[in-house]
Structure 1
């Protein structure tokens, strides 16, 4: 085993005039995000590239402070190094530092004051084009005792972003908000979810349920519902039926679950006489933004079909493929998940995965590339697939994960959410209108993303069936 690298200081007596030290780093988007997180400086001049171009002064300061941190690193680790005490620093930011710039920071000793072991250093930062971006001087009290110790390994830091949901929100906000039946919004969190979606410009809420309870919930949530239409219904079952009626009448283009059980809402939706069924099997999908995964990830089904049959799975896949198309994935790659990568007659999931692939080959499932059975690691990791010798157009690049049953889908989605920091936007597909499923555990960002996805689905369906007045 190699010996650990040492960090060693320069004592006052060892330091000589003209001595210099330097480090070189390249500014990345993660650097900017981490600087903002540590400092609390969320000025859009350095977090939003478009804004930064119009506010050069703040961009110079914000990104320049990152460069100043490089100078501090030299003084603390190289010259003088451990034991040095910062006394003062003057800096002048002369040019902007941008993403991708490679900065070389240097510190050169220009004066020594023996009385208090003070060392004055000329400091500057230069970009990859040789242009000076920062100049200044630093005063430090140099150590008088030699220090030599192993260099501490920096912790691994992961910057979590959810840019994909923000882009979906921008697309959803591009047109007029859609009338949305909010079913039984009789809790503070369900009222807040509806109000947030309305404020974001996605929906125009129609609140359906016991009016007194709705108003009490709004009071608790401190939400003004005076601008929202309220349809009085005596209880949750009646609210679900009234919401479905509004959709059938064309008065609502979306459904959104409030504070009632999912099975209560879905009971009205799947009613054989007055529901919102289509020729498709109704199914659920999570659109997930998983940090570290390079593309959106759709997981289906985690809320509706407990043990889907092969025929059910074909429809569940068709619904998920439609969702992928709506969010801009023209030819999604579908991984049919199982515990193993080979077809095993004793494992029904592997047989059905193989059958679904053959259905796609025969044109019974269109608009996607299917492969399976695939274990989870091989579906999302090219390295894992390569290690096992799996040659597949899907392995390691999955856009859609088709899970065996509801339990598996629920576990996968929640593990990604709570262990990997993923956001999960939930929507029900295959009915005459998209249905937004939200949970009390959802963040505001997740709730808004669910609404945005549903809005995009409804608009896409309307374009596919022009002149019908019905998005189905």
Structure 2
């Protein structure tokens, strides 16, 4: 965003031969912004698309985007604020692509009545090659003026580059055999099949065979490549899925169209369940928040309603274990409360302080844990500095631990529906990852959940957990 004051050169102060220049590096985000603002969605100009069928994205800058850089020099530098276009000619000499650094130059060549002035205009690469050239005629400002665009609104792109990275990490792995419980509705079945098409999972469909077939017909899905286990009761289907994991026929569970508590009640059974060394189950949302330069994990927002300190320790450890599988060597864990100071009247601040000390003493391992932290100073360095908080976690948290399920659920949904985050998630603490999807999830969220499960299963299989 521009913040420095700009000053113009009025018509009567302009002299033939005056020059001005600006340099700009073309970012992939610029191409998305231009596509949205102009409506030009030619795939040749989109960073992630192959527009000509040669097997790789072109990310060619639209000619009008390149030309618009000329208007920035004329409108901001010479003549500057108050300038209006009359005409512009353009001759395109070569392409510009995402990553190119472009220098825009203008030179005053003529002055005419009615404050009409002419400029030679050209744009060149860092190597000095001209991208375009032409002539601009503009109406120069009559009076001196300054302008400081301090209130110019910023833009946040709804890109999900972190989920794209997870998918690129997971897709080369062998698909994990996944027991999909009761995929008896189109959305539940389609999510599993989509993940199979991306080679994330190999689904074993457990449920009412006729209903699964009806869902497949509605979605136009060919079930021939997939094993179907006909179990016509949801609890029995969950039991069969757990048995498959114990027998190593499956390496993950995926919830279909059944109540979560039915599935998890079979998972946590003391005899024949999937408990892992007494560890408490917890849910972890893995979130790709536009504008944030790293993945954000939120826990627990789906299982433990009012966790005590012991349960919170398991929640934190589960999240750290998952973070390792996603490539975070030493994840930063912010334990949230309403305030960042210990207050005996607010029990969550006491739990947060205890969890921090437990991490220092090795009772929680693999991550940096700090709390209590309020939401602002957990994720914003400026807010942490204002409060005088000195911490390796404050302002940089990658895992947010909520005080209870209500606050965690609200936080995750606020990020999803207000900040346009994508959210995938899994249940941790069992002998295998458990993929919980919602009917509100879009394709990207479903794929992300399966990618997270695949990466964790591979992490465990490699002996790293």
TM-score relative to the length of structure 1: 0.84
- Return the alpha-carbon distance in structure 1 between the equivalents of residues 313 and 358 of structure 2: 8
Kept after mapping to 1: 8 A contact 2:301/2:407: yes
* 1:84-139 alpha-carbon deviations (Å, 9 max, x no partner): 454x7331224645526142242655697x9x99987543113455443312345x
Kept after mapping to 2: 8 A contact 1:161/1:291: yes
Instruction: Establish whether residue 292 from structure 1 lines up as the match of residue 291 from structure 2.
Output: yes
Mind listing any 5+ residue stretches in structure 2 that lack a counterpart? none
Matching residue of 1:468: none
Matching residue of 2:159: 161
Instruction: Establish whether residue 355 from structure 1 lines up as the match of residue 376 from structure 2.
Output: no
- Return the alpha-carbon distance in structure 2 between the equivalents of residues 282 and 329 of structure 1: 21
Instruction: Establish whether residue 256 from structure 1 lines up as the match of residue 254 from structure 2.
Output: yes
- Return the alpha-carbon distance in structure 2 between the equivalents of residues 56 and 173 of structure 1: 18
The Cα shift of 1:145 comes to 11
Local SS of the residue matching 1:346: coil
- Return the alpha-carbon distance in structure 2 between the equivalents of residues 98 and 423 of structure 1: 25
The Cα shift of 1:37 comes to 3.1
Q: How does 1:119-134 map to 2 (within 5 A)?
A: 122-128=120-126, 130-134=128-132
Local SS of the residue matching 1:47: coil
The Cα shift of 1:41 comes to 3.4
Matching residue of 2:367: 368
Matching residue of 2:456: 457
Kept after mapping to 2: 8 A contact 1:107/1:124: no
TM-score relative to the length of structure 2: 0.85
Instruction: Establish whether residue 32 from structure 1 lines up as the match of residue 42 from structure 2.
Output: no
Q: How does 1:83-162 map to 2 (within 5 A)?
A: 84-86=85-87, 89-94=89-94, 96=96, 99=99, 101-106=101-106, 108-109=108-109, 122-128=120-126, 130-137=128-135, 154-162=152-160
Kept after mapping to 2: 8 A contact 1:97/1:133: no
Matching residue of 1:469: none
Kept after mapping to 1: 8 A contact 2:424/2:446: yes
Matching residue of 2:232: 234
Mind listing any 5+ residue stretches in structure 1 that lack a counterpart? 466-471
Kept after mapping to 2: 8 A contact 1:63/1:97: no
- Return the alpha-carbon distance in structure 2 between the equivalents of residues 20 and 209 of structure 1: 77
Instruction: Establish whether residue 436 from structure 1 lines up as the match of residue 423 from structure 2.
Output: no
Q: How does 1:180-199 map to 2 (within 5 A)?
A: 180-199=178-197
Matching residue of 2:425: 426
- Return the alpha-carbon distance in structure 2 between the equivalents of residues 401 and 16 of structure 1: 57
1:177 aligns with one of 175, 178, 181: 175
* 1:373-401 alpha-carbon deviations (Å, 9 max, x no partner): 11111111111111111112211111211
Distance 1:379 1:79, change over 3 A: closer
* 1:160-185 alpha-carbon deviations (Å, 9 max, x no partner): 32111111111111221111111111
Local SS of the residue matching 1:164: helix
Kept after mapping to 2: 8 A contact 1:111/1:121: no
Local SS of the residue matching 1:302: coil
The Cα shift of 1:447 comes to 1.0
- Return the alpha-carbon distance in structure 2 between the equivalents of residues 313 and 335 of structure 1: 12
Q: How does 1:63-82 map to 2 (within 5 A)?
A: 65-73=64-72
Matching residue of 2:304: 305
- Return the alpha-carbon distance in structure 1 between the equivalents of residues 8 and 233 of structure 2: 70
Instruction: Establish whether residue 413 from structure 1 lines up as the match of residue 412 from structure 2.
Output: yes
Deviates more, 1:72-81 or 1:122-131: 72-81
Size of the aligned set, in residue pairs, is 453
Matching residue of 1:247: 245
Distance 1:418 1:49, change over 3 A: closer
Distance 1:145 1:305, change over 3 A: closer
CA RMSD of aligned residues (A): 3.6
